Amino acid sequence: MPRSVDHGESIRLDNLDKYGHSGSPNGVMTAQGDSQTGIHKRSVYEHNGVAVCSQKRALFIATIVLSILFLVSLIIAYAGPQSDCPCAGEMPSNLDEEGGYSGTRNVIPIATNNEIFPWNSLRLPVFAKPSRYHINIHPNLTTLDVKGQVTIDFQVDKESTFIVLHSRNLTITDKMLTDRKTRLPITRLLEYPPAQQIYIEVKEKFRKKVNYTLVLRFTSRLSHELEGFYLSSYTTAEGEKRYLATTHFEPTYARTAFPCFDEPQFKARFKMSIFRDRFHISLFNMPIINTEDAGFYMGTGLLRDDFQESVEMSTYLVAFVVCDYKHISSQTAKGISVSVYAPPDLIPQARFALDTATSMMDHYEEFFGVDYPLPKQDLIAIPDFGVGAMENWGLITYRETSILYDANETSAAAHQWVAVVVAHELAHQWFGNLVTMRWWNDLWLNEGFASFLEYFGVDHVMPGWNMMEQFVLDKTQEGLSLDALTNSHPISVGVHDPTEIEAIFDTISYNKGAALLYMLEKFLGQDSLRSGLNDYLNTHKFGNADTKDLWAVLSKHANQSIQVKSIMDTWTRQMGFPLVSISKEGNTVSASQTRFLLTPNPQKQNLSHPPSPFNYKWYLPLSYFTDLNPEEEEIVWMNMTDVKFEVANDVEWLKANVNQSGFYRVTYDDEMWSAIIAAMRRNHTIFSPADRASLLDDAFTLCRAGLLNVTTALELSLYLLKERDYVPWATALQHFQAWSKYLAEAAPYRLFLQYMKHLLGPVAHSLGWEDTGTHLQKLMSSDILVSAVLRDVEEAVKDAKQHYKEWMTKNVRVPPNLREVVYSAGIKYGGVKEWQYCWAKYNTTRIPSERKLLLKVLSVASDPWILQRYLLATLDRDMVRPQDVKLVIANVASNPEGRLLAWRHLRAHWTALQGLFGNGTFTMGSLISSVTSHFATEYDYKEVSTFFRRLNVGSGVRALDQSLETIQLNIYWVRRNEEPLFQWLTNYLSR
């Protein structure tokens, strides 16, 4: 946010110079090549002085140390309760203080009072089960102090002298334990920060089936990071800064707000009491039932809100907010109250989300056949929010751009985004909240289902948007892209510590999970899927389930005619996917399956690494149609085998994986590729838009893998001169933009940009400058014209620059779906004055989607000086909110003029960025990917690997490995294709 909204236009680029030499603002230390962890390790292992002692003394000291170590090992082996560990997995010995892994030292678990911490597992013991929490909490939004008390009712399944629960960054000030009758003395309370656990020991054993109550008082501080219980702020239309306290607990941050059993299988009921000022309101998962004066001892002017007790739910779904928002409300057909909360002047932008949520709730209740179990559903806009939204049961939190929509100001793409995110989070109210995965290794059960149902739900509410056509573009293709790397992971993957858990909130869990469910729906049938989901939800409601529970129910509803578990295990328990190779001889078609892998050297690839329980074979529904009957879809099952089937003798070609509904790629023999390309260039409409997108996606990706000549992909792309549909063009543009990045330092670069201009010219001309048409036409118009402007298509650039000039000098309104085009032209082909005008608009607009768009287009400047100062602005949270930092850096990195600046910025300010986001969040991994994965030279690879080799990147480890693998792919792709690409482009463009 700007420091002064009223003077947004007075903010000068030159003001950013103050960060150029003295580090980041707000007292945040900038990086000098070391992470905080690296600095800490140096302080442990490096010393300025040199200690010298005699040989006898050294021998004596060594003997004493070895004796102590032996004694300690005996204590650990026999004294603690760890031999009774009923949970899976022990705490790795190399866990560091942040809950991550340290490869430099072994750790004996030592509590904060220097006693040995008796519990040695990252997982909590399962014999203690909470049934109810009562939380009292008072966040002071002035001092940022938090005072709280949690009362936990629990029982134990076996006799024990101890319980273990989670706590992180909380100071426990008082404790009490009772059996509902008498107070029981606590003999020890130990804290072990590396595992984020506390250990409570009693003299007499806890007895089975006895009701116990633990009361803990604690203090903490509101966090400035976007996790746990944290502080956020917004600026009113009058320029006044207002504060709110809000929560984000998924996956392991509830323990930072109150002591708890912070694992998803420990479901319990929650009661809440929140102390607040009179000018604030408070919100919780459940409705408020009583408000009264807090009493003199809490301070004057405070009120206490008491909330209705919740249903049984996991700790990560608890949410509470203290703010001064207003709201609008509606009701579902069954009388559930639905409300949207936002800052008062943004309430008019909340109407679309409210209407969509109300309709979607009715649709989901009818589709699942399971009633929504809470009395209300609140949706709230949070100014500072790390992810798109969070599905807290009954109180869903959203980033402002994910919930607020202005029909006169918001583009079709941003409009769709709001609908999709609302649908996603509401789907979670059943999948994730009502039925929750037992452990995070089955995260995909939550996120895959919600990512599938979001498109399914919006398609029902907005049938004209063709959402399932877009599903292929946004889910299937995204999932296929990442899952082709050797550093991918199975969709159901073992995770243990918070860092590992954060790392799997990725494209595999979300998009591959969704794509597999889409494929499942196609071969199972929607009726069987629907009845199975109804059974699954009713069987496991208010409880936990895992993947095999879902497969068992779906098999039952397919009348056991399809063994769902056997089929789907090959997709969830091994990473990757198959490449189906099609060849035809006479009337016999042969289809073989092998693992598809993007690898720098196709001749030396190891398709069996890492080992798979199914040896990288899949149960695969191969769908296809032929040129003789394009309307009739056939299916042949490949049961972890190759297959042969017959077609008519005069079939010229067949198109496999109809509408890209299966999660696999297809290649054809040379003769069939030629026939398909000829058919596409002759009359592309015999293929559906999704099939055309599928052919483009497969061809360009096979070329990237070295399995198809670059000239074949280019010959196919020539049909785009006649293409006028959104999904095929969006697919093509993704591949073209990737190629332009890889080729940035290669000989064919300029020729390839010229070829892109050649393809874009006709379609850009046909679209024109009227913001009209269907939803998909508006999406396409924006994408095509933006690409045309950035690739210097003269006609598009001329028109867009003129629109920008009229907007800047005469305040002529630009239609929402043309704004990215117009703003991009003004910034790219303008100078400081044009950039400054957009920066001022960013600081003054009250439309969240407009702010996001302006942040994006500000990064397309051609002047490196401007881009450098823009990057420096990300170090000041008053200029660029922390949640938007990645957006800015990633877009500067995608700008040819800014890619090296972004990489330098990431290195120079790594420590500041790490402090901003924390090592445990997936933001750091996505930053690494967005800044480095387009590099394509050996020098760049060496620079990236050398820089990160000595840093602890936390949950970004997998993203770093994937980025390094991608850089190697880029290097080999350019090396392999530079010459033939140059020759083909030279020949074609000289015609």
How many CA atoms does the CB half-sphere of 281 hold within 13 Å?
A: 13
Q: What is the pLDDT of residue 953?
A: 86
For 622-663, what is each residue's pLDDT tens digit? 999 999 999 999 999 999 999 999 999 999 999 999 999 999
Domain assignment present for residue 658? The answer is no
Residue pair 483/703 in contact (Cβ under 8 Å)? The answer is no
Domain assignment present for residue 645? The answer is no
Domain assignment present for residue 494? The answer is yes
Domain termination site, one of 772, 798, 829: 829
Residue pair 135/284 in contact (Cβ under 8 Å)? The answer is no
Q: What is the pLDDT of residue 295?
A: 73
Sign of CA dihedral 877, 880, 882, 888: negative
Which residue, 835, 840, 916, 903, is CA-closest to 875? 916
Q: Map residue 907 onto helix, strand or coil.
A: helix
Which residue, 530, 538, 528, 380, is CA-closest to 453? 530
Residue 136 sits in the same domain as residue 279: yes
Q: What is the pLDDT of residue 922?
A: 66
Measured distance CA(285)–CA(661) in Å, rounded? 37
Is 775 marked as a binding-site residue? no
Residues in the chain: 991
What is the model's pTM? 0.88
Is 469 marked as a binding-site residue? no
Residue 164 sits in the same domain as residue 291: yes
Residue pair 583/669 in contact (Cβ under 8 Å)? The answer is yes
Tally of domains within the chain: 3
Domain termination site, one of 573, 594, 620: 573
Measured distance CA(807)–CA(826) in Å, rounded? 10
Which residue, 524, 527, 575, is CA-closest to 551? 524
Cα distances (angstroms) measured from residue 126 to each of 372, 392, 409: 29, 24, 52
Which residue, 414, 434, 307, is CA-closest to 370? 434
Measured distance CA(921)–CA(912) in Å, rounded? 14
Domain assignment present for residue 235? The answer is yes
Q: What is the pLDDT of residue 45?
A: 28
Sign of CA dihedral 732, 734, 735, 741: positive
Q: Map residue 241 onto helix, strand or coil.
A: strand
Q: How many CB atoms lie within 10 A of CB 301?
A: 11
Domain assignment present for residue 41? The answer is no
Structural domain for 487, as ranges: 442-573
Domain assignment present for residue 478? The answer is yes
Instruction: Report cis status (omega within 30 of 0) of the bond before 815.
Output: no
Q: What is the pLDDT of residue 85?
A: 37
Measured distance CA(917)–CA(561) in Å, rounded? 49
* Strands 197-206 vs 186-192: parallel, antiparallel or unpaired: antiparallel
Q: What is the pLDDT of residue 964?
A: 94
Cα distances (angstroms) measured from residue 689 to each of 469, 654, 659, 678, 715: 8, 16, 8, 17, 18
Is 671 marked as a binding-site residue? no
Looking at residue 314, which CATH number applies to its domain? 2.60.40.1730
Which residue, 370, 329, 335, is CA-closest to 353? 329
Residue pair 686/722 in contact (Cβ under 8 Å)? The answer is no
Residue ranges of the chain with pLDDT lower than 50? 1-53, 72, 74-105
Q: Helices 910-917 and 923-932, interaxial angle, to 10°? A: 140
Q: What is the pLDDT of residue 591?
A: 98
Domain assignment present for residue 430? The answer is no
Q: What is the pLDDT of residue 599?
A: 79
Q: What is the pLDDT of residue 956?
A: 86
How many CA atoms does the CB half-sphere of 785 hold within 13 Å?
A: 29
Q: Name residue 188's beta-bridge partners.
A: 201
| DSSP 8-state secondary structure symbol assigned to residue 562 | S
Q: What is the pLDDT of residue 60?
A: 57
Residue 169 sits in the same domain as residue 317: yes
Measured distance CA(701)–CA(689) in Å, rounded? 18
Q: How many CB atoms lie within 10 A of CB 665?
A: 24
Q: How many CB atoms lie within 10 A of CB 497?
A: 24
Q: Map residue 712 onto helix, strand or coil.
A: helix
Which residue, 752, 738, 750, is CA-closest to 967? 738
* Strands 337-342 vs 376-382: parallel, antiparallel or unpaired: parallel
Which residue, 368, 270, 382, is CA-closest to 321? 382
Domain assignment present for residue 760? The answer is yes
Contacts of 968 (CB under 8 A, 6+ apart): 600, 941
Give the catalytic positions in this structure: 425
Domain termination site, one of 291, 324, 357: 324
Q: Please identify which residue in the block is written with the tokens 């309307």.
A: 631
Measured distance CA(190)–CA(80) in Å, rounded? 13
How many CA atoms does the CB half-sphere of 822 hold within 13 Å?
A: 20
* Strands 128-139 vs 269-277: parallel, antiparallel or unpaired: parallel
* Strands 281-284 vs 643-646: parallel, antiparallel or unpaired: unpaired
Q: How many CB atoms lie within 10 A of CB 113?
A: 10
* Strands 435-437 vs 197-206: parallel, antiparallel or unpaired: unpaired
Looking at this protein, which amino acid is placed at residue 797?
V
Looking at residue 449, which CATH number applies to its domain? 1.10.390.10
Cα distances (angstroms) measured from residue 310 to each of 133, 290, 315, 804, 957: 10, 15, 12, 53, 37
Residue pair 281/327 in contact (Cβ under 8 Å)? The answer is no
Q: Map residue 230 onto helix, strand or coil.
A: strand
Residue pair 810/757 in contact (Cβ under 8 Å)? The answer is no
Residue 320 sits in the same domain as residue 455: no
